[in-house]
Amino acid sequence: MNLTSPFSLAIVAITLLAFLGLPIGHAMIAGSILYLYLAGLDMGTAAEQLLNGMYSNYVILSVPLFILAAEFMNIGSMTDRLMAFCNALVGRFRGGLAHVNILQSIIFAGMSGSAIADAAGTGRMMQVMMTRDGRYTPSYAAALTAVSSVIGPIIPPSIPMVLYALVSDASIGYLFLGGVIPGLLMALSQMIIVFVTARRKNFPVEKPVPLRKLPRITWQAFPSLMMPVVLLGGIYSGVMTPTEAAAVAAAYALVISAGLYRSVSWRDFYQSLAVSARTTASIGMLIAGALVFNYVVTVENIPEGVKALLAGWNLSPVGFLILVNILLLLLGCVLEGTAILLIVVPVFIPTAQALGIDLVHFGVVVVVNIMIGLITPPYGLLLFIMANISGEPLRDIVRDTLPFLFAMIVALAILTFVPETVLWLPRLFGYQG
């Protein structure tokens, strides 16, 4: 590559601006405009690509709606009732609260679609519950909450899968279905680690909830438990598109929290709107920057260049997936997941198609990689969030995360080498891929 070419200088500009603290979305827009200027192209193309991409793509609208649904869920008492339900089911086993932590992540996965929302929403509550009376060390509680939160964007709905659908044109509905078994497999791998650790470290056994109370606890949590049913049932019955389902999810969470549980004040409502707006604006700028930069990448014919390079290596589909897994896991150590999804992944999609790799299978594998990146040091955003919530040193949280990280990489290998773990459920619903 010519180091003085417009593309090389644009990459240098993006890297330098990001290093100096400019948000990566703004840096990509600035670097792309520099490229257009140096290449003698119309700089107004940047605005054209941004506007066309942001306002003509209906699927992007689901992102702020899923974020809003998560916020409405967190401000009400839905969280408390779901936690009581989880505790009644698995709290009676050794290491019960650790299993509760994982189970609540499975349930919350069907509501928010965001790992960060799950960690921020229930992280503080789980931290207090697990460390009360010295039951668990604060670092272990923080590590477990971080790793269990990655289940959220794998089991539908999933904001990362929406973004993958944006860059790949894969079906969101089938991507959502493809994430169910992998998400449960991730949860199972975490529960196995908890089970082994609980016996070795003699974790406490919680006071069991009497079985006669289970129907009442289930009934109290029933409206909250129905949210994933309403959301996914609407999508797969054909009644709603994923974007419409996101709007219904937000409305349902508000109605249950404010109307049925009566646990939402006007201040809470305003705060949830403000937090959702800020989060959406942050993601939106990143998407906008990626749309403009992807135009530059297309003009430079980078995807076809990568495709030709990898074709020269004579990689098999399995070899290509192993290479992608390694690259994404390494990139996850230093880059934010959404940036990887919007900038790096589109470069690999033409090669995946040429090798006959199913895009739904590829998408789920990519999303799982990116979720693991959220708990991979040194960047690991969820590790930083839980360090802030728990007040524990990051090194201690990382130490307690490592056994879970190993188990999740084993689960990732299963998903990679056995495509049916991803594709069985979509095919059951008519997927022809």
37 in a structural domain: no
Q: Are 77 and 263 in contact (CB under 8 A)?
A: yes
The count of domains in the chain is 1
Is 366 within 8 Å of 359 (Cβ atoms)? no
Residue 3, domain member (yes or no): no
In 3D, which of 302, 394, 241 has the Cα closest to residue 5? 302
80 lies in some domain: yes
- Domain of residue 265: give its range: 42-428
Asked whether residue 27 is domain-assigned, the answer is: no
Q: Using CA atoms, how far apart are residues 298 and 20, in angstroms rounded to an integer?
A: 27
Residues making up the chain, counted from first to last = 433
Query: Is residue 12 situated within a structural domain?
Result: no
**Is 34 among the domain residues?**
no
pLDDT at 70 over 90: no
Q: What is the reported pLDDT for 411?
A: 94
User: Is 76 a residue whose pLDDT tops 70?
Assistant: no
Least confident of 41-55, 313-327, 350-364: 41-55
- 418 phi, psi to nearest 5 deg: -125, 85
79-83, 144-148, 178-182, 197-201, range with the lowest pLDDT: 79-83
Instruction: Answer whether residue 24 is part of any domain.
Output: no
Closest CA to 222 of 214, 232, 212: 214
174 or 49: which carries more pLDDT confidence?
174
* Residue partners of 146: CB distance under 8 A and separation at least 6: 119, 374, 375, 380, 382, 383, 385, 386, 397, 401
Given a cut of 70, whether residue 189 has pLDDT beyond it is yes
301 part of a folded domain = yes
**Whether pLDDT at 414 is above 90:** yes
Cis previous bond, 228, omega within 30? no
Residues 245-290 have pLDDT tens digits of 888 888 888 888 888 878 778 888 888 888 888 877 877 787 788 7
Across 55-69, 145-159, 218-232, least confident range: 55-69
DSSP string, 289-334: HHHHHHHHHHHTTHHHHHHHHHHHTT--HHHHHHHHHHHHHHHHTT
Of 385, 304, 382, whose CA–CA distance to 147 is shortest? 382
The amino acid at 402 = L
- Judging by beta carbons within 10 Å of its beta carbon (0-12, 13-18, 19+), is residue 121 exposed, middle or buried? buried
